[in-house]
Structures are given as C-alpha cells and as structure tokens.
Amino acid sequence: MKAVFYTNEYPPYTYGGAGVAVEYLTRELSKLMEVEVRCFGDQRSRKRNLRVTGYLPWKELSKGAPKGFDKALEALSVNLQFCKDNTADLVHCHTWYTNLAGFFAKILHGIPFVMTTHSLEPLRPWKREQLGRAYDLSRWIEENAVRSADAVIAVSKGMKDDILSCYDVPASKVHVIHNGIDLAEYAPSAGTAALRRRGVDPSRPYVLFVGRITRQKGIIHLVNAIPRIDPGAQIVLCAGAPDTREIAAEMEAGVARIRAERGNVIWIREMLPKREIIEFYSHAAVFCCPSIYEPFGIINVEAMACGAPVVASAVGGILEVVAPGTTGLLVPFTPRRDGTYEPRDPGKFSRDLAGAVNKVLRDPALRRKFVERGRRRAEERFAWSGVARRTHDLYKALLRR
C-alpha cells in the first residue's frame, strides 16, 4: 500500500500546525507503508519508505492578479503539477491549498481521496482581510473537497461537529483522529543559551506565546491583557509572519503601548528553530494560547510535553487537549453572533486571560501539578505512533471498500 500526501507546508518551509502534522505523520506512516510527499517548494529527499518532492508555482499565472488572487492562482498552478501522474493507492490532502489536486487525482487516477481538515474556511472570516475575493475561491475549493472526499479526517471531536454544521455530509464519512507529538523530541530541556541570546532572563518567570500574528491566534487579546499580568513576570512573544499589514500595524502599536508601561516585554519576530522553541517551552512559567479559533492546537501539546503549564481559551480542539484544573486553565470564550468569531466582550476576555495567567504565576504548587500531569497526558494520548496506526487502519478500510 502506498499513500501520496499533497501539502502546502513541509520542512524546511513550515509555519503552522498543519505542516508540523504532515511532517511527523508521514515519518511515522513510512514505518508502516510507502509514503510520497508532494509539497510547495524546492524540497528533494528520499529515505527508505519516504520520498519528498517540492513543486514551485508558475508565477506567470498570477502576474497582474488582484489582491489575494496571486497566492490562490499560484496554489492552483502547483495543484495541477501535483496530480499529473500517480503511483499511489490513495491521496491524502492537507488544507484547502491542495484540495483541488486531491479531487483531480481521484477523478483522473481512480484512487480514494482522503482529506484532513486542520481548520474550516467558513469559520475563518478574517481570511477575507488577507485574501479579498480569493477567500470565496478557497471556500469553494474546501466545500467541493469535503463533499467529494471518500473520508474526511477531523483533528478533534469539535472539528467533526463543525464540519457537520458547515457541510451537508454524512457523519459516517468524518473520522476523528487527533494530531500528535514526538515525545522524544518535545521533552523538557535544561539549556538556557537560546533564552539568554534573545534577552530572556531564565532566573525570572516568563509568560510565553508562540504563533503567527493572525486574528485566529488571538495575540492582540493577549497584548491587551499584558497590563493586568503580574509586572514581575517577563512577557515573551514569539510571534511573526503577520497575515496582513493591518494586523502587523495593530501589533506594533499594541506592543509599543505596553512597553511604555513596562520594560520586560520581549518580542521575537522571526520563526525560531525547533530546538530553541523547545527550550522556551521548557522554562516558561506559563504558556498562553489565546486563540479565538483552534481546531486542535498542537502548540498546547508541545508545551505540555516540555513541561509548561498552559492557560488557553476554551475553544475547539483545545477542550480535548488541555484538562482544566489538571494540566492547565481554560478561559471562557463566547464569540459574537455576527460570524466574526471575535469574543463578544473583548475587554472581559483579556481580563480573564490575565486573571488565569496570574493565578498560575502566583501558585508554585499549581504550576508543579500542571507540569507533571501535562507531560503525562501528552504521553498517554498524543503519541504520533498511535495517530499513524489509526490513519493506516482508515486507509486499509477505504481500499477494502
């Protein structure tokens, strides 16, 4: 049995949870079967059972395109390259960027089409700010894929509920398989060299954020919470790759305002290497995930595996990752009814974030409990080996049909 993965992200070009999931899932699956990865980029590698090929977009297609359409058209040009030939028994797609290629592969090569939903376009309305009318194209591509796929993998039970509420498909087609963690790699690190290089004092407590500067990750709400967070704690924002110039400017203004009030806010704008992120997780007094939409939230599993107490918003897949009062604290979140997914009361949400962070900062016994039980929960529930076995079983069932 052979599977071909179509993905936008693959190392070294990984910027989000979908890319992390594809990297580790394909590695584990290659221990069970032959796997080919086709991705956006210039990657070329071949190991025993894992072959990786990158494809570059046809830039001519997007010349002179209106806002947002350049990326969408470039993605389509890569999709056409992905599906031009095939030696696999099934195709497995990740994110809307590759869903059209999966649909084409199913039709052209007569193979089962599996898609993993790491997020849903209808529940990310802020993407219109980034893509303009191309957001309508991404929504259509995703809807077509969900309806056409032979199996849809949801990364959480909450994501399955969202799929069934957004799209009219049978529940039997949607399979819940959580993402996972490499427990050998993501483990507490004693080193502090990366912290010191970035201006963080490892002898003093710090609150950590890791993620892109996007509406989805809720970073602006955390920035607004900082004035209420214990002034003795350092605030470390590992935040880069802003979606738009507008949110970049909002972030700049917010951090400047906070720095005028307190001098211990450290903003690291580049995406740090994995080994450095593990070091940052390992020494954090609190890891804060203020996402307003999070189908799974792999960063919370990473933080728990490295021994960081978690404070996160009570949304989506986070509810299945963080055990409130056991491995961290969850902050209530009520979205507006206008479909924006922003909190109904942003001021209250930021105040509640600050309150939960302070509770963990000021209670060493609670932090120790969260550290111990967070690691245990990661070990028991989120190992990639188990994720790969469940995915492999789904493949076999599809091919038997």
> By mean pLDDT, which of 115-129, 156-170, 202-216, 297-311 is the weakest?
115-129
Query: Residue 130: pLDDT band by 50, 70, 90 thresholds?
Result: confident
For 263, list phi and psi in degrees, rounded to 5.
-100, 5
Segment 332-375, tens digit of pLDDT: 988 887 767 789 999 999 999 999 999 999 999 999 999 999 99
| Whole-structure pTM value | 0.86
Segment 209-264, tens digit of pLDDT: 999 999 999 999 999 999 999 999 999 999 998 888 899 999 999 999 999 999 89
Residue 270 CB coordination number (10 Å): 9
Average pLDDT, the chain: 94
Q: CA 281 to CA 236: how far, in whole Å?
A: 11
How much is the pLDDT for 379?
A: 94
> What average pLDDT does the segment 118-132 reach?
85
Query: Residue 140: pLDDT band by 50, 70, 90 thresholds?
Result: very high
> Which structure tokens are listed for 134?
């191309």
> What average pLDDT does the segment 300-323 reach?
96
How much is the pLDDT for 249?
A: 95
SS (H, E, C) 282-324: HHCCEEEECCCCCCCCHHHHHHHHCCCCEEEECCCCHHHHCCE
Residue corresponding to tokens 């390259």: 81
How much is the pLDDT for 337?
A: 74
How much is the pLDDT for 369?
A: 98
> What average pLDDT does the segment 93-119 reach?
96
pLDDT at 186 over 90: yes
Query: In this structure, are residues 211 and 353 in contact, taking their beta carbons and an 8 Å threshold?
Result: no
How much is the pLDDT for 285?
A: 98
- Structural domains of the chain in order of their starting residue, each with its CATH number: 2-180+383-400 (3.40.50.2000), 193-381 (3.40.50.2000)
